[in-house]
Amino acid sequence: MMRAQGRMLTDVESLIEAPHGLGLSQRPALCDVTADRARISEKLVSLVARDSCAADQYRALRQTVERLRRERGFQVIGVTSPCPGDGKTVTTLNLAGALAQSPDSRVLVVDADLRRPSVAEYLALPRTSFPGLAEAILDPAYDLAAVVRCLDTFNLSVLPAGTPQVTPYELLNSPRLEGLLRDARRTYDCVLIDTPPAVALPDCRLIERFVDAFLVVVAAHKTPRTLVAEALNVLDPAKIAGVVFNADDRSRPSEYGYGYYGYPERVTWWQRLFGTVRSARVR
């Protein structure tokens, strides 16, 4: 149950929680990939430790995301952070795993961090010659189905970044990316985009126009408050659905703690950051 509570960033403990189901069209024709559970990162508790308390916390976040989809039509959600190391990719994949636990759900994870992609590494996906998002943007011969990998074991689809790019500006600014995400909207119930960090690089702001909302991941007790403020300032305030506080990205999975705070519309980033307006804590 969501409860309104004001919080200062410095007061945020390690928290979070959220549940509910999606549903939609038919399954797309995707290549099947057998996931090697033994090699998947232990941080992905929604995939490898579904009965754990940590996985329950991601199901809490799942509930929030599903509510946003029902009430506000948010289907494509970007997950970003102020800087590298805040835990955005782990949060993206665990949230996706929690959403995919509903057997009727169609969930896609897109790795749009073309400079430093890590989704495939966390999932232990074979790199081999599989094309990814970069190749699909560069070569129109690749449609969405040709570059998405379906992890049937987890009821989850993944679009890896493909070949890392030194300067991905033109790719992320391409109409091809918009077309691929439009196809994803037609095929999946929920699309989670692991974006680059919001501060210092323009990449996340290029992706912003294609998403319905952002979740901003902050490493509690670690991310400098000035960088959190800057991240919230550079993003469109109307698209910030909430902040996910990642307690400690170095902890063992059983010790993970997260917090989600959602905010009302028409408030400044300063109010968002310091909790001078009502914020929501999932319990």
pLDDT at 22: 32
> Which runs of consecutive H residues, i.e. helices, occur in 200-280?
203-208, 225-234, 269-274
Decide: 216 and 80 in contact? Cβ < 8 Å: yes
What is the spatial distance between Cα 179 and Cα 204, in angstroms, rounded to a whole number?
Answer: 18
On the 0-12 / 13-18 / 19+ scale of CB atoms within 10 A, 28 is middle
pLDDT at 3: 33
pLDDT at 245: 87
pLDDT at 33: 57
pLDDT at 126: 79
Residue type, 25: S
**Region of residue 55 (phi > 0: left; psi between -120 and 50: alpha; otherwise: beta):** alpha
Ordered by where they begin, the domains of the chain are 2-23+37-124+190-282 (3.40.50.300)
pLDDT at 77: 98
What is the spatial distance between Cα 247 and Cα 255, in angstroms, rounded to a whole number?
Answer: 9
| Exposure b/e, 61-88, CB count within 10 A at least 16 = b | bbbbbbbbbeeeebbbbbbbbbbeebbb
List, run by run, the mean pLDDT of 10-residue segments along the chain (283 residues). Answer: 32 31 36 66 93 92 94 96 93 97 96 96 83 96 96 95 94 96 97 95 94 94 91 94 74 46 42 39 31
pLDDT at 17: 33
The alpha carbon of 152 is separated from its chain's Cα centroid by a whole number of angstroms, namely 20
